[in-house]
Amino acid sequence: MIVHYHLGSITLIIFLFIIVNHLYTRQKKRTAVILHQVLRFMYLFAALTGLMLLGILPVYLGGLFKAFLGLGSIGLIEIYFVHKLKNDAPKYLHVILIVFLSITVIMGLVLPQGISILF
């Protein structure tokens, strides 16, 4: 059950990231700031459910690696939005963010306690 909450929060984070990015690009800052705060709440929810999932099984290196990638993704998303607000985002930052998020999702699905726990 916790897995479903965790995957749902990750899905919401990705959708909210896309929506907030679009709103910041369109200069609709009031709505973007509100949704950005919701996105930050979802970070907490994903981190808490991730820690709960780490507690289900014995600690292993793959689980710690997934946790590190998840926290790194959250940090990169926040760095991206700070630069976006200041209108000085480097051209390569969004590419690094997308690559890092892709690696995080792939590792989350491939490493143990990934897809196998859903079936």
Structure tokens at 44: 């907490």
Q: Each residue of 21-54: pLDDT tens digit?
A: 999 989 898 999 999 999 999 999 999 998 888 8
Domain that holds residue 81: 2-118
Between CA 29 and CA 97 the distance in angstroms is 22
What is the reported pTM?
Answer: 0.84
For the chain, the domain total comes to 1
Instruction: Give dist(CA 81, CA 77) in Å, integer.
Output: 6
